[in-house]
Structure 1
Amino acid sequence: MVAQVSNRIKGLIMVITGATLWGLSGTAAQVLFQEKQITAEWLVVVRMILAGSVLLLFAAYKRMAIFSLWTDIKSVVNLLLFGFVGMLGVQYTYFASIATGNAATATLLQYLAPVYIVIYVMVVQKHRPSKEVTFAILLALLGTFLLITNGSTGELKVSLISVIWGILSGVALAFYTLSSAQMLKKWHSVIVVGWGMVIGGGGMCFIFPPFPLPSVHWDMETWLLILFVVVFGTLLAFLLFVESIRYLSPTESSLLSSVEPLSAVVASIAFLHVPFGLFQTIGAVCITVTVLLLSQKKERQSSRSTTSIL
């Protein structure tokens, strides 16, 4: 019993730490974009190639067959789609939203992904949403409205382009989640995500080569922020989340990862002095509650052995 409690605490610490690092990495990226003149394109390429390569090296160290995925034609097609559209789409749209707005709003808008997944499943399976799901979607819409307007329709509190990138980030994350589902049943998540990052980052290299940017002052703070985003905000955060599933259920880990937008909001306010009004705070709570409601709905239906989340 003591060992079980100890393992559960270990899992809780892992997932909360990982989610916090994810959220803080968005704030670090905002500093790089808005104060250090690093471009979103450059950071995406560097982050994905470095993080993906290290993940694959980690998988090889753990004696995983990292090249076995490439022997299955169907998996290769899905992996390429996942890497170029899912992984690259999520990374670029998220950073673009931060670069044109702020990390807090970008993270919260990305967290609307479960709503898009529910709508997609509803359309594909031709199901009418339950009252609970309808309420969750309306709550998400209300939260988004309050987040970007602070309750006033006369003026946006976040730039329109940032909102568009943020919404696209949520759509990309929904695609990322759905497109990786089948591969994750057959291959370890470290292998799938590692290759996805290398493919997406490698493909983007042809458009935005990761050469040093001449306009950037490469001081120690710049390098430390880049190191934090790549190592702590990507590699360590992902590995902690994956390892936490050994001690917690996947649903518990997903619910606790809601700490990510909270840490992004707190860090943006504390370190970058991003203004966050009362109604924006209420909007953030609405979006977070939406994620919790949809995650709990999925958990209950999974226990009844059904694939629908409606």
Structure 2
Amino acid sequence: MKGRSRKTGLFLVIAGATFWGVGGTVAQKLFQQFAINVEWLVTVRLLIAGVLLLAVQFLLKDRSQVFGVWKNKRAALRLIIFGLLGMLAVQYTYMASINHGNAAVATLLQYLAPAMIIIYLVLRKETVFTRNDFVTVSLALAGSFFLLTNGSVSQLSVPAPAIVWGILSGVALAFYTLYAVPLLKQYDSLVVVGWAMVIGGLSLSFIHPPWKMGSSSLTFEAYLYLVFVIVFGTMLAFWFYIESLQSLSPTETSLLSSLEPLAAVFTTVIWLKEPFGSFQWVGTVCIFGMILLLALNKKSHSKTAEHMNHEKPFKVS
């Protein structure tokens, strides 16, 4: 964890988190300027990125796991459920929220997942409600209020469908994070996420086949954006994050990966020139504070901190 390898790890996690955040903003550009269909983009994104991740596993890591996961019936069933109710659900709800609103709000709402996990584990009596949990949930609620209302209870600052899809994205991410744990203990994360993407993409193909784009007016610029969302914003972002764990601790990578919402917010406001009120910035700070609290809380015995710090490689916006 020293010298050149540590610098490489820092570069990889910062680049990966930035790619994740900017990828959402680029997707918003595709929706707004080029009228790209949400179902088509999610289908193509999952299929291509999933195949690329499996190819990386096959060429550079333990190739026996790529197909070995299907030899275990219990693991295979869990993987299918994870692909449909976890990966596909996270991807679709997130992109739908962006389509109806913007990438900044969609990303921040998705990051409510830790608070949802806290509430779920407390209700299940799998953990006690600690002081840190109280602060985490309070920051999430306050952040959501300011983000969605801009301080005015009489009107919403973003369209209602964007809020609904964004909250559903947080719920999906919470399930995604918890459900993936047993698979992570048995197989490399590239295998699990790669196959989950392929499963999600194949299932959505029945609704919107990848060869039916639905738009014939795409420019060269639009295709460059597509490449960025699929390759940089998905495949490379995840791979870089995983590789950074070779030279950095999970806490460090989790902390630095918090650059994702910052990248999404700043590129949405500066590049796409989306209006962002002063109270929305307050809400952003609250949610970002919640993320930092969980990332820094490495001595906590909370299962929530454990999941969000150590299973974060499964976060793929």
Please tell me the TM-score bracket, short chain as reference.
Answer: over 0.9
Which runs of structure 2 are paired with 1:167-246 in the superposition (5 Å)? 167-246=167-246
What is residue 286 of structure 2 aligned with on the other side?
286
In the alignment, is residue 17 of structure 1 matched against residue 15 of structure 2?
yes
What is residue 140 of structure 2 aligned with on the other side?
140
Deviation at 1:132, TM superposition (A): 2.0
Identical aligned residues as a percent: 47
Cα contact 1:133–1:294 (8 A) shared by 2? no
- For residues 243 and 282 of structure 2, what CA distance do their matches in structure 1 show? 33
- For residues 213 and 9 of structure 2, what CA distance do their matches in structure 1 show? 40
State the aligned residue count: 304
- Scaled by the length of structure 1, the TM-score of the pair is 0.94
Going from structure 1 to structure 2, the CA distance change for 1:209 and 1:107 (only over 3 Å counts) comes to: same
Deviation at 1:121, TM superposition (A): 1.2
Deviation at 1:176, TM superposition (A): 0.8
Deviation at 1:156, TM superposition (A): 0.7
- For residues 18 and 213 of structure 1, what CA distance do their matches in structure 2 show? 28
What is residue 49 of structure 1 aligned with on the other side?
47
Cα contact 1:112–1:291 (8 A) shared by 2? no
- Scaled by the length of structure 2, the TM-score of the pair is 0.92
- Please give the root-mean-square deviation of Cα atoms over the aligned residues, in Å: 1.5
- For residues 22 and 184 of structure 1, what CA distance do their matches in structure 2 show? 21
Cα contact 1:18–1:241 (8 A) shared by 2? yes
Give per-residue Cα distances to partners, 1:214-243, cap 9 Å, x unaligned: 444121011111000001111111110000
**Which of 6, 9, 27 is equivalent to 1:8?**
6
- For residues 237 and 275 of structure 2, what CA distance do their matches in structure 1 show? 27
In the alignment, is residue 60 of structure 1 matched against residue 58 of structure 2?
yes
What is residue 89 of structure 1 aligned with on the other side?
89
- For residues 227 and 99 of structure 2, what CA distance do their matches in structure 1 show? 18
Give per-residue Cα distances to partners, 1:79-129, cap 9 Å, x unaligned: 011000000000000000000000000001011111111111111125441
What is residue 312 of structure 2 aligned with on the other side?
none
What is residue 313 of structure 2 aligned with on the other side?
none
Cα contact 2:127–2:303 (8 A) shared by 1? no
- For residues 181 and 85 of structure 2, what CA distance do their matches in structure 1 show? 15
Give per-residue Cα distances to partners, 1:24-58, cap 9 Å, x unaligned: 00010001111101011100000000000111111
Going from structure 1 to structure 2, the CA distance change for 1:123 and 1:225 (only over 3 Å counts) comes to: same
Cα contact 1:145–1:151 (8 A) shared by 2? yes
Cα contact 1:114–1:174 (8 A) shared by 2? yes
What is residue 309 of structure 2 aligned with on the other side?
none
Long gaps (5+) in structure 2: 307-317
Which amino acid in structure 2 is aligned with residue 28 of structure 1? V
Which amino acid in structure 2 is aligned with residue 143 of structure 1? G
Bigger shift: residues 193-202 or 130-139: 130-139
Which amino acid in structure 1 is aligned with residue 4 of structure 2? S
- For residues 127 and 118 of structure 2, what CA distance do their matches in structure 1 show? 10
Long gaps (5+) in structure 1: none
Runs ≥4 residues deviating over 6 A = none
- For residues 259 and 282 of structure 1, what CA distance do their matches in structure 2 show? 17
Report the secondary structure of 2:299's partner residue: helix
What is residue 256 of structure 2 aligned with on the other side?
256
Which amino acid in structure 2 is aligned with residue 64 of structure 1? R
Going from structure 1 to structure 2, the CA distance change for 1:205 and 1:198 (only over 3 Å counts) comes to: same
Which runs of structure 2 are paired with 1:113-128 in the superposition (5 Å)? 113-125=113-125, 127-128=127-128
